[in-house]
Amino acid sequence: MKADLLARLQAAQAAKQPVALVTRLTDGLQLLWPQDEAPAPLVEAARTALQEDAAQNVEYEGAAWFVHPHNPPLRLIIVGAVHIAQALVPMAQPLGFAVTVVDPRRAWATADRFPGITLIHEWTDDAMAQLAPDSRTAVVTLTHDPKLDDPALDVSLKSAAFYIGALGSRRTHAKRLERLAALGHPPEALALIKSPVGLDIAAVTAAEIGLSIIAEIVAVRRGAALGTRARTPVAA
Amino acid sequence: MSELSEDILATAAAWRAAGEDVALATVVQTWGSSPRPPGSRLAMTASGKLAGSVSGGCIEGAVADAARQTMASGTPQVLDFGVTDERAWEVGLACGGKVKVFVEKLA
């Protein structure tokens, strides 16, 4: 790899631009798509690689090519700068998530409690609208306060977020579903909310709950059966 | 799939900037059971520094040998490791899978 191509690849990553590194394996010729022009079959492979976040192998003009997607990091948006959030953040980062914590309560969302993390102090619906969750974003609400959690869930349910989780007991969640239904969300959308949040590992401490949440997010992202488990029907 | 791959690239770039000879190895294809998916990277220096991985540790030694050649010659290589490959038995690809690795010099 040439130094200037590596520099361009790093610059694209720093700017959070999705790029595909396309390599002819026979001689190491490389280009970076979409910055560099490429023949149609390689462009198609690059699109697929980025969309599916999976490397592609292509034969083109008698040579083997490797198409290596470099997508921006996954995002985890945590609503509620609470103790569980403090436990969750350092687990999510090495798994490749860029973490943002949203909490209008400035006493909670402080740089002391969340060193190096993007903190947003706006009201949760405004914050979520700005953050615009996409298909590479997970959202988890942890405030326990409907005034803060509900607007965030409302925005998230209208987004392409691949994971939406909400902390709270079954009773709390049943009431939450009623409120969100009243906002016009159909039952099939509401069924996507993971609550009780996290894999059932009988978590007790904040760290254990953080672990169960991040494990569930990974399970959903990877399509594991654990991530699609049916929830116990909520009693009315 | 690109978890922390930017860190490996940044590490490689930093080594290069410090004047080291650097090679990058990338898993380009796997068959059957293999521990690291396509796109996984290993950065190496001629002085023996390593960052990242292309397997669970079973082929890194052989990849490093090839990388030293590539650092010296500048010519990239494609390495195949698998149960049908005698070399894989030598280096011990215990998982029973097959893996193809591209090795290039960071010029």
- Complex ipTM > 0.95: no
pLDDT exceeds 60 at position B93: no
**pLDDT, tens digit, for every residue of A160-199?**
999 999 999 999 999 999 999 999 999 999 999 999 999 9
Assigned token pair, B7: 């860190």
Residues B33-55 have a mean pLDDT of 90
The answer to whether B2 contacts A10, with C-beta atoms less than 8 Å apart, is no
The answer to whether B102 contacts A23, with C-beta atoms less than 8 Å apart, is yes
Q: Is the CB of B18 inside 8 Å of chain A's CB atoms?
A: no
DSSP one-letter string for A21-80: EEEETTT--EEEETTS---HHHHHHHHHHHHHT--EEEEETTEEEEEEEEPPPEEEEEES
Check residue B2 and give its pLDDT.
Answer: 42
Check residue B3 and give its pLDDT.
Answer: 47
Check residue A234 and give its pLDDT.
Answer: 46
**pLDDT, tens digit, for every residue of A55-64?**
999 999 999 9
> With left for phi above 0 and alpha for psi between -120 and 50, is residue B64 left, alpha or beta?
alpha
Half-sphere CA count of A3, side-chain side, radius 13 A: 10
- Quick one: pLDDT band at residue A236, thresholds 50, 70, 90? very low
**pLDDT, tens digit, for every residue of B59-74?**
888 999 999 999 999 9
The answer to whether B13 contacts A6, with C-beta atoms less than 8 Å apart, is yes
More confident residue, B43 or B5: B43
pLDDT exceeds 60 at position A139: yes
Residues of chain A positioned with their CB less than 8 A from the CB of B75: 28
Q: Which of B28, B78, B104 sits opposite A1 (nearest CB)?
A: B104
Check residue A235 and give its pLDDT.
Answer: 43
Alpha-carbon dihedral sign for residues A57, B34, A215, A192: positive
**To probe the interface with B, which of A5, A6, A58 has the most B CB atoms within 10 Å?**
A6
The answer to whether A10 contacts B3, with C-beta atoms less than 8 Å apart, is no
Q: Break chain A into its structural domains and give their ranges.
A: 3-70, 74-228
Q: Which range is least confidently modeled, A63-77, A95-109, A215-229?
A: A215-229
User: Which residue spans within chain B are E strands per DSSP?
Assistant: 22-31, 41-45, 50-52, 77-81, 98-105
Residues 127-166 of A with CB under 8 A from B: none
How far off is chain A from B94, nearest CA to CA, in Å? Answer: 24
**Under DSSP, is residue B81 helix (H, G, I), strand (E, B) or coil?**
strand
The answer to whether B28 contacts A25, with C-beta atoms less than 8 Å apart, is yes
Check residue B94 and give its pLDDT.
Answer: 60
Q: Rounded CA gap, B93 and B82, in Å?
A: 7
Q: Which chain A residue has the Cα nearest residue B102?
A: A25
Look up the CATH number of domain A74-228. 3.40.50.720
Query: Residues of chain A with pLDDT > 70: what percent?
Result: 97
**pLDDT, tens digit, for every residue of A24-69?**
999 999 999 999 999 999 999 999 999 999 999 999 999 999 999 9
Number of A–B residue contacts, CB under 8 Å: 68
Residues A130-149 have a mean pLDDT of 95
Query: Residues of chain A with pLDDT > 90: what percent?
Result: 90
pLDDT exceeds 90 at position B36: no
The answer to whether B107 contacts A94, with C-beta atoms less than 8 Å apart, is no
